[in-house]
Structure 1
Amino acid sequence: MKLTIQRLASLTAQDRIDLAKVWPEMDIVQLEAQLSETQRLYAARFNDRLLAALQLSISGTQGKIFNLNVREVTRRRGVGQYLLVETIAQNGALTDWWIADDGDADRGVRAAFMQACGFRAQADGWVK
Protein backbone atom coordinates (compact mmCIF):
# COMPACT_ATOMS: atom_id res chain seq x y z
CA MET A 1 0.00 0.00 0.00
CA LYS A 2 1.16 3.54 -0.76
CA LEU A 3 2.04 6.20 1.80
CA THR A 4 -0.62 8.92 1.67
CA ILE A 5 -0.82 12.35 3.25
CA GLN A 6 -4.26 13.24 4.56
CA ARG A 7 -5.92 16.13 6.27
CA LEU A 8 -7.80 14.70 9.24
CA ALA A 9 -10.97 16.53 10.27
CA SER A 10 -12.11 13.79 12.64
CA LEU A 11 -10.31 10.83 14.15
CA THR A 12 -11.12 7.16 14.32
CA ALA A 13 -10.30 5.14 17.42
CA GLN A 14 -7.26 3.72 15.58
CA ASP A 15 -6.16 7.24 14.58
CA ARG A 16 -6.18 8.26 18.26
CA ILE A 17 -4.03 5.24 19.17
CA ASP A 18 -1.60 5.97 16.34
CA LEU A 19 -1.35 9.69 17.17
CA ALA A 20 -0.61 8.82 20.79
CA LYS A 21 2.46 6.99 19.44
CA VAL A 22 3.45 9.99 17.30
CA TRP A 23 2.85 12.47 20.15
CA PRO A 24 3.01 10.58 23.49
CA GLU A 25 2.67 13.76 25.58
CA MET A 26 -0.24 15.33 23.68
CA ASP A 27 -3.91 15.26 24.66
CA ILE A 28 -5.34 13.82 21.42
CA VAL A 29 -8.98 14.41 22.44
CA GLN A 30 -8.26 18.11 23.04
CA LEU A 31 -6.37 18.31 19.74
CA GLU A 32 -9.34 16.87 17.85
CA ALA A 33 -11.71 19.35 19.50
CA GLN A 34 -9.59 22.26 18.20
CA LEU A 35 -9.64 21.18 14.54
CA SER A 36 -11.19 23.73 12.15
CA GLU A 37 -10.57 25.43 8.82
CA THR A 38 -7.72 27.41 10.38
CA GLN A 39 -6.42 24.71 12.76
CA ARG A 40 -5.64 21.62 10.74
CA LEU A 41 -4.08 18.22 11.27
CA TYR A 42 -2.17 16.37 8.54
CA ALA A 43 -0.87 12.84 8.84
CA ALA A 44 1.07 10.25 6.86
CA ARG A 45 -0.90 7.01 6.57
CA PHE A 46 0.48 3.62 5.55
CA ASN A 47 -1.52 0.37 5.77
CA ASP A 48 -4.28 2.11 7.73
CA ARG A 49 -1.84 3.37 10.39
CA LEU A 50 -0.62 6.92 11.02
CA LEU A 51 3.17 7.12 11.00
CA ALA A 52 3.71 10.88 11.27
CA ALA A 53 1.70 14.05 11.79
CA LEU A 54 1.83 17.82 12.01
CA GLN A 55 -0.46 20.64 13.03
CA LEU A 56 -1.07 23.54 10.64
CA SER A 57 -2.37 26.92 11.75
CA ILE A 58 -3.54 29.22 8.95
CA SER A 59 -3.73 33.01 9.12
CA GLY A 60 -4.36 34.76 5.81
CA THR A 61 -1.66 33.50 3.44
CA GLN A 62 0.64 32.29 6.22
CA GLY A 63 0.92 28.68 7.31
CA LYS A 64 2.47 27.88 10.67
CA ILE A 65 3.44 24.27 11.32
CA PHE A 66 3.76 22.89 14.83
CA ASN A 67 4.58 19.48 16.27
CA LEU A 68 5.96 17.91 13.10
CA ASN A 69 6.88 14.44 14.31
CA VAL A 70 7.47 10.95 12.92
CA ARG A 71 7.13 7.79 14.97
CA GLU A 72 10.60 6.78 16.07
CA VAL A 73 10.46 3.33 14.42
CA THR A 74 9.70 5.01 11.07
CA ARG A 75 12.31 7.77 11.06
CA ARG A 76 15.04 8.19 8.44
CA ARG A 77 12.84 6.85 5.61
CA GLY A 78 11.56 10.08 4.06
CA VAL A 79 8.14 10.04 5.75
CA GLY A 80 8.59 13.42 7.46
CA GLN A 81 9.82 15.12 4.31
CA TYR A 82 6.96 13.67 2.26
CA LEU A 83 4.46 14.81 4.92
CA LEU A 84 5.88 18.34 4.87
CA VAL A 85 6.11 18.63 1.07
CA GLU A 86 2.59 17.27 0.51
CA THR A 87 1.06 19.46 3.23
CA ILE A 88 2.53 22.52 1.53
CA ALA A 89 1.32 21.29 -1.88
CA GLN A 90 -2.21 20.68 -0.55
CA ASN A 91 -2.32 24.27 0.73
CA GLY A 92 -1.27 26.09 -2.45
CA ALA A 93 -3.02 29.34 -1.47
CA LEU A 94 -0.53 29.83 1.36
CA THR A 95 2.61 31.73 0.35
CA ASP A 96 4.52 32.17 3.61
CA TRP A 97 5.56 29.17 5.71
CA TRP A 98 6.98 29.00 9.22
CA ILE A 99 7.78 25.86 11.18
CA ALA A 100 8.15 25.82 14.95
CA ASP A 101 11.47 24.58 16.30
CA ASP A 102 9.72 21.96 18.41
CA GLY A 103 9.49 18.18 18.38
CA ASP A 104 11.56 15.50 19.97
CA ALA A 105 14.39 15.18 17.41
CA ASP A 106 17.74 16.58 18.49
CA ARG A 107 18.57 20.04 17.19
CA GLY A 108 21.28 18.86 14.78
CA VAL A 109 19.01 16.30 13.16
CA ARG A 110 16.15 18.81 12.95
CA ALA A 111 18.43 21.45 11.37
CA ALA A 112 19.66 19.00 8.72
CA PHE A 113 16.07 17.92 7.99
CA MET A 114 14.75 21.49 7.71
CA GLN A 115 17.60 22.58 5.43
CA ALA A 116 17.05 19.52 3.21
CA CYS A 117 13.40 20.62 2.90
CA GLY A 118 14.44 24.11 1.77
CA PHE A 119 13.80 26.02 5.01
CA ARG A 120 16.19 28.47 6.65
CA ALA A 121 16.70 29.04 10.35
CA GLN A 122 15.26 31.91 12.37
CA ALA A 123 15.55 32.56 16.09
CA ASP A 124 12.23 30.85 16.87
CA GLY A 125 11.81 28.40 13.99
CA TRP A 126 12.24 27.91 10.26
CA VAL A 127 10.93 29.88 7.27
CA LYS A 128 10.41 29.28 3.57
Structure 2
Amino acid sequence: MKLTIQRLTSLTTQDRIDLTKVWPEIDISQLEAQLSETQRMYAARFNDRLLAALQLTIQGAQGKITQLQVREVTRRRGVGKYLLEETLAQNSALAEWWVADDGADEQDIRAAFMQACGFRAQGDGWTR
Protein backbone atom coordinates (compact mmCIF):
# COMPACT_ATOMS: atom_id res chain seq x y z
CA MET A 1 0.00 0.00 0.00
CA LYS A 2 1.14 3.54 -0.75
CA LEU A 3 2.03 6.16 1.84
CA THR A 4 -0.63 8.88 1.74
CA ILE A 5 -0.87 12.26 3.39
CA GLN A 6 -4.31 13.15 4.66
CA ARG A 7 -6.00 16.00 6.40
CA LEU A 8 -7.79 14.47 9.37
CA THR A 9 -11.13 15.99 10.31
CA SER A 10 -12.33 13.14 12.52
CA LEU A 11 -10.51 10.21 14.04
CA THR A 12 -11.20 6.51 14.12
CA THR A 13 -10.38 4.41 17.17
CA GLN A 14 -7.25 3.17 15.37
CA ASP A 15 -6.26 6.76 14.49
CA ARG A 16 -6.42 7.68 18.18
CA ILE A 17 -4.22 4.71 19.10
CA ASP A 18 -1.70 5.60 16.38
CA LEU A 19 -1.61 9.29 17.30
CA THR A 20 -0.92 8.37 20.92
CA LYS A 21 2.23 6.67 19.63
CA VAL A 22 3.17 9.75 17.57
CA TRP A 23 2.33 12.25 20.35
CA PRO A 24 2.35 10.43 23.71
CA GLU A 25 2.15 13.72 25.65
CA ILE A 26 -0.90 15.18 23.83
CA ASP A 27 -4.57 14.66 24.74
CA ILE A 28 -5.82 13.35 21.38
CA SER A 29 -9.53 13.78 22.24
CA GLN A 30 -8.97 17.43 23.10
CA LEU A 31 -6.95 17.93 19.92
CA GLU A 32 -9.72 16.37 17.82
CA ALA A 33 -12.31 18.69 19.40
CA GLN A 34 -10.24 21.71 18.29
CA LEU A 35 -10.05 20.75 14.60
CA SER A 36 -11.53 23.36 12.28
CA GLU A 37 -10.79 25.22 9.05
CA THR A 38 -8.02 27.15 10.82
CA GLN A 39 -6.82 24.38 13.18
CA ARG A 40 -5.90 21.38 11.05
CA MET A 41 -4.13 18.08 11.45
CA TYR A 42 -2.29 16.21 8.69
CA ALA A 43 -0.96 12.68 8.97
CA ALA A 44 1.01 10.13 6.99
CA ARG A 45 -0.92 6.88 6.60
CA PHE A 46 0.49 3.52 5.52
CA ASN A 47 -1.45 0.23 5.67
CA ASP A 48 -4.26 1.92 7.63
CA ARG A 49 -1.85 3.14 10.33
CA LEU A 50 -0.71 6.68 11.07
CA LEU A 51 3.08 6.96 11.10
CA ALA A 52 3.56 10.71 11.47
CA ALA A 53 1.51 13.84 12.01
CA LEU A 54 1.61 17.59 12.34
CA GLN A 55 -0.71 20.37 13.42
CA LEU A 56 -1.34 23.36 11.16
CA THR A 57 -2.75 26.69 12.27
CA ILE A 58 -3.83 29.06 9.50
CA GLN A 59 -3.79 32.80 10.16
CA GLY A 60 -4.59 34.79 7.04
CA ALA A 61 -1.94 33.83 4.45
CA GLN A 62 0.40 32.25 7.00
CA GLY A 63 0.64 28.59 7.96
CA LYS A 64 2.14 27.72 11.35
CA ILE A 65 3.15 24.10 11.80
CA THR A 66 3.62 22.63 15.26
CA GLN A 67 4.13 19.15 16.66
CA LEU A 68 5.74 17.73 13.51
CA GLN A 69 6.58 14.21 14.67
CA VAL A 70 7.35 10.86 13.08
CA ARG A 71 7.07 7.64 15.07
CA GLU A 72 10.49 6.55 16.27
CA VAL A 73 10.40 3.20 14.40
CA THR A 74 9.62 4.99 11.11
CA ARG A 75 12.24 7.74 11.15
CA ARG A 76 14.92 8.21 8.47
CA ARG A 77 12.72 6.88 5.65
CA GLY A 78 11.43 10.15 4.18
CA VAL A 79 8.03 10.06 5.89
CA GLY A 80 8.47 13.40 7.67
CA LYS A 81 9.71 15.16 4.56
CA TYR A 82 6.84 13.76 2.48
CA LEU A 83 4.34 14.81 5.18
CA LEU A 84 5.73 18.34 5.25
CA GLU A 85 5.94 18.71 1.45
CA GLU A 86 2.41 17.39 0.89
CA THR A 87 0.96 19.60 3.63
CA LEU A 88 2.50 22.64 1.94
CA ALA A 89 1.22 21.48 -1.47
CA GLN A 90 -2.31 20.88 -0.16
CA ASN A 91 -2.32 24.42 1.26
CA SER A 92 -0.68 26.19 -1.67
CA ALA A 93 -2.77 29.35 -1.15
CA LEU A 94 -0.69 30.15 1.93
CA ALA A 95 2.19 32.51 1.16
CA GLU A 96 4.26 32.21 4.35
CA TRP A 97 5.26 29.17 6.38
CA TRP A 98 6.68 28.81 9.86
CA VAL A 99 7.56 25.52 11.60
CA ALA A 100 7.94 25.55 15.38
CA ASP A 101 11.06 24.23 17.03
CA ASP A 102 9.00 22.23 19.51
CA GLY A 103 10.49 18.79 18.97
CA ALA A 104 12.37 16.86 21.56
CA ASP A 105 14.69 15.47 18.89
CA GLU A 106 18.37 16.25 18.75
CA GLN A 107 18.61 19.80 17.48
CA ASP A 108 21.33 19.16 14.90
CA ILE A 109 19.25 16.38 13.29
CA ARG A 110 16.12 18.56 13.28
CA ALA A 111 18.04 21.50 11.81
CA ALA A 112 19.45 19.33 8.99
CA PHE A 113 15.95 17.99 8.29
CA MET A 114 14.42 21.47 8.11
CA GLN A 115 17.20 22.75 5.83
CA ALA A 116 16.71 19.74 3.54
CA CYS A 117 13.04 20.75 3.31
CA GLY A 118 13.98 24.28 2.21
CA PHE A 119 13.47 26.11 5.52
CA ARG A 120 15.88 28.48 7.24
CA ALA A 121 16.40 28.92 10.97
CA GLN A 122 14.68 31.80 12.75
CA GLY A 123 14.90 32.00 16.53
CA ASP A 124 12.28 29.57 17.79
CA GLY A 125 11.57 27.84 14.49
CA TRP A 126 12.08 27.82 10.72
CA THR A 127 10.59 29.91 7.92
CA ARG A 128 10.04 29.46 4.24
Q: Deviations over 1:62-89 (max 9, x none)?
A: 0000000000000000000000000000
- In the TM superposition, 1:1-128 aligns within 5 A as 1-128=1-128
Identical residues among aligned pairs (%): 78
TM-score of the aligned structures, taking structure 2 as reference length: 0.99
**d(CA) in 2 for partners of 1:99 and 1:66?**
6
Give the C-alpha shift of residue 104 in structure 1.
2.4
Retained in 2: the 8 A contact 1:38–1:58? yes
Give the C-alpha shift of residue 124 in structure 1.
1.2
Task: Kindly provide the amino acid, as one letter, of the partner of residue 90 in structure 1.
Answer: Q
Q: Which runs of 4+ in 1 moved over 2 A?
A: none
**d(CA) in 1 for partners of 2:61 and 2:95?**
6
TM-score of the aligned structures, taking structure 1 as reference length: 0.99
**Alignment gaps of 5+ in structure 2:** none
**d(CA) in 2 for partners of 1:43 and 1:101?**
19
**d(CA) in 1 for partners of 2:121 and 2:34?**
28
SS in 1 for 2:29: helix
Give the C-alpha shift of residue 103 in structure 1.
1.6
